Structure 1
Amino acid sequence: MRPDQLAGALSQLQAEHRLRQRAVLDSPQGARVSIGGRDYLAFASNDYLGLANHPALKAAMREAIEEWGVGSGASALVAGHFAIQQQAEEALAEFVGCEAALLFGSGYAANLGVVSSLVGRGDAIFADKLNHASLNDACQLSRAEFKRFRHNDLAHLAQLLQNTPAASRLIVVDAVYSMEGDEAPLAELLQLAERYDAWLYLDDAHGFGILGNGRGALVEHALQHPRVVYMATLGKAAGVAGAFVAGSRQLIDWLVNRARTYIFTTAHPPAQAAAVLASLQLIEQESWRRLLLQEHISALRAALMETSFRLCSSRMPIQAIIIGGNEAAVQMAGDLQDSGIWVPAIRPPTVPAGTARLRVSLSAVHSGQDVSQLAQALVRLLR
């Protein structure tokens, strides 16, 4: 795109009700946030367990800053790997039942680094059509043949696997799909990976902290296996930032040597690792957060089930309400904001054309009254 085309392109996005603008927060994340001088009951954050502003995480980070400083200086392979980060990696590996783990600066970086280090030219990737954008980018940048199968369609995937001459094969899925809240059939996917000699890469960004008593999709489905490569982000249910990849010791050693997004980037601040360790303790010990979250999910679905809203099937804190058109979704989100409720309108290209939606994110810091207030506001909009 030329510089003189930017204004017209932005105007086109505006006309299509797809122009994105950031809401500037004047408060920490929580059930209620302040935006532009106004307080909102918020259902936008992926802070599912309500840990992003937890006193224990803040204290752990403050203490770690005093001990370890703020910046890491350089990449871990150049300036050194902090002992506190090694401790966090060992704790994360044990938490999800794997031999080893490796911290990354973000889930996006982890996906790019892992996929491109496992496959390349002459290989093939088989990816669910509803995978996160970061997974799609990783697949395209790997230079492997990129094949997409229909969402959760095992027969279609098996057909693609059967007909490939690729030397190495990688199946890539989200464990929980971020815009629908539904889940991948992981046990069946592992069976296909075994049958067709493929890796199985799981992006558990939205399952970690929730599934498997908080330990994620690997534990939920008992999927610890040499073919499985596991990734989870730490900025959602864990309440911190960054991501980690877990698997066999050999896999992690390979990533340290070949994952470019790990090798060629400054390591994330060591204090984040201390917050991760504090978060793991809360995830394990405070199961009431998940129980309360399930109550919220059930209450919202029950309140909307008898309405004409099209609600995606999900047992997760992601509850997507399909609206259809971009303008209608933006209008409904705006009407909710007018009533003091913050719910984001998700539009293409994040979701397919014609499926613009309200994406409700529930959290353990919401009260039952908060969820009831949201449901009542949505029903009023229908009237």
Structure 2
Amino acid sequence: MTEHYSIDHLPGRTIDLDGQDYLFFSGTSYLGMAQNPAFRALLIEGMAQYGTVFGSSRNGNLQLRIYEEAEVKLAAFARAEAALTLSSGMLAGQAVVNWLKGQDFGFLYGPNAHPAIWQEPNTRLPTLSFDDWTKRLPELVATAPTRHIVIALNSLDALFSVGYSFEWVHQLPVDQEITLLVDDSHGLGVIGPEGSGIGSKIPKRDNVRLIVTASLAKAMGLPGGVIFSDPQTLASIRRTAFFGACSPTPPAYLYAFGQAQGLYHAAFDRLLENIRRFENRVGDSDLFQHIPAYPVFYTAQDQLYSSLLANRIFVYSFAYPSPTDKPNTRIVINAMHQPEDIEQLGDYLYGTTR
């Protein structure tokens, strides 16, 4: 069982454990925005104008323009038609699910779909591999008891660093109304052109409505969530009581995001450089499974965690999603890492695995 550690500072490229520095290759701050000094300065500007929180419904009779302004920029960043923000990725997913449930849509779930897009707490997910599931999907859609179908899935498998192709969308029936609901929490800011996420990589179909949800608290470094879709769909979700009752994202963070487009692009470029450096060090080793140009490197060799820890390198390794599950051990590269950090990690891995 993995031991749990407690620290009193935000992890960056390193952490302090018992007075010693450890290289930190864990977490989900892929772009390092939470520790970016320039982004923090923008956040201070935002707090000076908007305070720490806006405790009001987005549907109230007093509106802050920053929300609409930031949503336009978020949609442009993700290359989506429109965006709608909420206070978490979990709420973003549930706002969509709640809206779809009210229209009596039938749900089909992909393997390991995130709980944010579950219809109920005990939602049953398929045990098939993703490839086997997609092969069966056209038949599952065609034989579903309702003609209105929601296909809910993740944009990729971040736990085991497995990429998903969406070419199967071309094989879906053309005579049914289909909503494709994709959680892109671990893709937004990291995959797609300039980190724009999964949206532009999904084929367009006239009878398939695309809704993408995501946490903004990972690569984007913002305490909130977002829904991307067409303006009509988002306007309908916004009119629901569920959305109206949700607290919004703190406006200071959206102000900072709006001013930080150059910072995001620079961080994305640094992240790609760091990933390429580590990929070159690992080479064709079968120690890791990972998506090319993606910052997560999964290993089935859980003992690597303790070996790295003994060498003052801290990586992700704990049971997930429940305490009874097998530990998931991953090395996570981020934009804050320096070349010498990657080289030190690579030197240790070469010395212990080859």
Q: Tell me if TM exceeds 0.5.
A: yes
1:269 maps to which residue? Answer: 250
Identity of aligned residues (%): 23
Deviation at 1:109, TM superposition (A): 1.3
Matched, 1:178 2:158: yes
Contact 2:151-2:181 within 8 A present in 1 as well? yes
Rounded to whole Å, the distance in 2 between the matches of 1:207 and 1:361 is 14
1:134 maps to which residue? Answer: 116
Among 293, 297, 300, the alignment partner of 1:322 is 300
Residue range with higher mean Cα deviation, 231-240 or 277-286: 277-286
2:261 maps to which residue? Answer: 280
Contact 1:181-1:318 within 8 A present in 2 as well? yes
Deviation at 1:91, TM superposition (A): 0.9
Whose helix proportion is higher, 1 or 2? 1
Contact 1:238-1:280 within 8 A present in 2 as well? no
Matched, 1:164 2:144: yes
Contact 1:297-1:317 within 8 A present in 2 as well? no
Q: Classify the secondary structure of the residue corresponding to 2:218.
A: coil
Superposed CA offset, 1:287-339 (max 9, x none) = 5324313413422531xx336x3x2241211111113xxxxx3x542332221
Among 322, 325, 328, the alignment partner of 1:357 is 328
1:301 maps to which residue? Answer: 282
Rounded to whole Å, the distance in 2 between the matches of 1:30 and 1:64 is 23
Contact 2:274-2:342 within 8 A present in 1 as well? no
Contact 1:212-1:218 within 8 A present in 2 as well? no
Q: Aligned in 2, Cα 1:47/1:147: closer, same or farther, shift over 3 Å?
A: closer
1:345 maps to which residue? Answer: 317
Matches for 1:62-73 after TM superposition, within 5 Å: 62-73=44-55
Calculate the aligned-residue CA RMSD, in Å: 2.9
1:214 maps to which residue? Answer: 195
Among 333, 337, 341, the alignment partner of 1:370 is 341
Deviation at 1:270, TM superposition (A): 1.0
Q: Classify the secondary structure of the residue corresponding to 1:92.
A: helix
Instruction: Extract structure 1 runs of 4+ deviating beyond 6 A.
Output: none
Rounded to whole Å, the distance in 1 between the matches of 2:205 and 2:87 is 24
TM-score of the superposed pair, with normalisation by structure 1? 0.81
1:93 maps to which residue? Answer: 75
Choose between structure 1 and 2 for higher RCO, CA contacts under 8 A separated by at least 6 residues. Answer: 2
Deviation at 1:122, TM superposition (A): 4.9
Structure 1 residue runs of 5 or longer lacking an equivalent are: 1-16, 324-328
Deviation at 1:244, TM superposition (A): 0.9
Superposed CA offset, 1:200-250 (max 9, x none) = 111111221122222112234565976100123222222222121111111
1:7 maps to which residue? Answer: none
Rounded to whole Å, the distance in 2 between the matches of 1:56 and 1:281 is 11
Deviation at 1:256, TM superposition (A): 0.8
Q: Aligned in 2, Cα 1:83/1:188: closer, same or farther, shift over 3 Å?
A: same
1:155 maps to which residue? Answer: 135
Q: Classify the secondary structure of the residue corresponding to 1:91.
A: helix
Contact 1:212-1:220 within 8 A present in 2 as well? no
Deviation at 1:131, TM superposition (A): 2.0
Counterpart code for 2:339: G
Q: Classify the secondary structure of the residue corresponding to 1:90.
A: helix
Rounded to whole Å, the distance in 2 between the matches of 1:318 and 1:157 is 28
Structure 2 residue runs of 5 or longer lacking an equivalent are: none
Q: Classify the secondary structure of the residue corresponding to 1:109.
A: helix
Contact 1:171-1:200 within 8 A present in 2 as well? yes
Counterpart code for 1:306: S
